[in-house]
Amino acid sequence: MLKRTFAALAFAGAAVAMSSCASPVTTASAGSRTGCATTTSLGAVAGTVREGLCVFRGIRYAEPPTGALRFRPPRPVGRWRGTLKATDDKAVCPQDRDAMSEDYPDGRALFTDEDCLRLNVWTPAPDHRRRPVIVFVHGGAARYGTANEPRYDGARLAARGDAVVVSINYRLGVLGWSELGGLDPAYKGSGNNGLRDQITALRWVHDHIADFGGDPADVTAVGESAGAFSLSAMLATDHPERLFRRVVLESGSGALVHTAAYEREVAAQLPVKSVAELRGMSTKQILDLQNKVIDQDAPGIIGATYFAPYIDGALVRDSVVTRVARGNARGVDLLIGTNRDEMNFFGQLGPEAMTAIGQQYDAVFFPHALAARRERMVAAYRRGRSATEAALAMFTDQGMRVPATRLAQAQSRWRPTYLYEFGWRPTKEYGAVHTLELPFVFGTFRFTGILGGEEAFNADRARLTTLSDQMIDAWTSFARTGDPNARRTVERPAWPAYRAPRRATMMWNVGAKVADDPRGRERALWNGYPFTAFGLPA
């Protein structure tokens, strides 16, 4: 069915996605405090000193999901003997290299080590001072990416914000997001194992981050793209406040969490007759199978949302916006936003790709339920735009911006909520595309997957460094207090909380400003359409 539904999406080259690790060893010198070491209830850990910070890389938070544990929920890691030398920064969960959109830690073309459930910690010192904790969940279409990408280096966030920063790996693709309960009831719920990995990592943080100088009662989870889909799904689980006190969702919301029906359709595409058949495959064979299925049944942009958390009724109870509106996340502060030209990311192969994506949107993605108002909506979006630009603007609003405003509005009833839009454009042709905020949030200024990003940054380095400082101050202030205005070392406007009808939005750009209900007429065109969960087009 997926193959028939999305046949119109195929076009050449546009399927863009959104190792051995440290082992415990005994060493006489690793326990020295001067060498960045600490002791947890699981055992001693030794990291490295870098630029005045203590950095711990490749700490295992769950047992290797291999052998009998493949396709099973994560099993929390047990105690180790001796001192864990946490110096491995190369862990990448299984995937084929996506050099266009990911910033890998080495040059491998294929990553096949399933023993990848590791996390990294950057801290000013493991001194029990109870600093705010920021846990980052990477994006990459739940098929690509790793916590060890240089663009996600947490050093600047940790140093500038006096915070403890954690980045986590989780299982990807078929290995983490395939519902196999239809093949074997014992594997029911496996379609959310990637989400369970993340939850297990967050629980590890709660249990052990105090030993690294962090406050387990002051955890902010930050996710981008698929990471944001995942964290938004956690808002629809029972007691999300037990996982984090605050959450930042960058370019992703619960509208892209799968329905159960869609997840069943995805599972049905796997050409296997048993879980045993899958378990008997090598990692490479599973990746090859995964690529074949996506190429055949979800070509083009839909491949970027093929894997995601889903509403299973047990872990993810209902649609995110429904649960949030009812107060399920009333104990969680929310900061959420999108980039001005999200969907243009997929058109960076050139004008032909941009045109093709616009045509695909018109043919496949525009909601059938809005057919009666389609002509009026298209006319409104065409003001000052070409046909392709209008289609991509509608695609961005439908897929990212408007669902973000809906989630912000739902949560604003219960907790302080902040909305942003990132609008700096490295090129006029593509604008502020998906992932563009990341080099500024981390202060790494690595523009992987962003055409013209590095050149544009170098041409305006001083002002763009200021923009990054403003964003880091806002993110870390939010993590510390729930208010992004608590620490403004670089001048910028105050950021009001989001509430209708004002709908105050921080517009991040050179010269940041606050706008009330930006492009509100276009936002209002979607009124009445329920952005609940991602399913098959009706």
* CA R_g for the chain: 22
Confidence category of residue 67, pLDDT binned at 50, 70, 90 = very high
- Read off φ and ψ for residue 220, nearest 5 degrees: -115, 120
Tell me if 19 sits within 8 A of 147, measured CB to CB. no
| CB-CB contact of 451 with 430 (8 Å) | yes
The predicted pLDDT at position 298 comes to: 85
**Element (H or E) spanning 133, and its range?**
strand 131-137
Ordered by where they begin, the domains of the chain are 2-459 (3.40.50.1820)
Dump pLDDT digits (tens) for 115-141. 999 999 999 999 989 999 999 999 999
Residue 126: C-alpha distances to residues 33, 88, 206, 212, 214 (Å): 9, 19, 15, 4, 8
Q: Give SS3 for 391.
A: helix
Mean pLDDT of the chain: 93
Distance CA 255, CA 232 (A): 9
The greatest distance separating any two alpha carbons of the chain, rounded to the nearest whole angstrom, comes to 73
Give dist(CA 349, CA 366) in Å, integer.
23
Return the residue matching tokens 């962090």: 214
Task: Decide if pLDDT at 319 tops 70.
Answer: yes
Residue-wise pLDDT for 207-220, tens only, equals 999 999 999 999 99
Whole-number pLDDT of residue 537: 66
| Residue in 364, 357, 326 with CA at minimum distance from that of residue 341 | 357
SS3 at position 59:
strand
Answer yes or no: are the C-beta atoms of 135 and 244 closer than 8 Å. Answer: yes
Residues catalogued as catalytic: 225, 342, 434
State how far the Cα of 487 lies from the Cα of 474, in Å rounded to an integer: 7
pLDDT of residue 27: 29
Both tokens of 417, joined, read 């909520």
pLDDT for 363: 87
Distance from C-alpha of 79 to C-alpha of 81, rounded to nearest angstrom: 7
pLDDT at residue 35, as a whole number:
75
Helical (H) or strand (E) element with 507: strand 504-508
What is the rounded CA–CA span in Å between residue 384 and residue 392? 13
Reported as a single tens digit per residue, the pLDDT across 87-116 is 999 999 999 999 889 999 999 999 999 999
pLDDT tens digit sequence for 188-207: 999 999 999 999 999 999 99
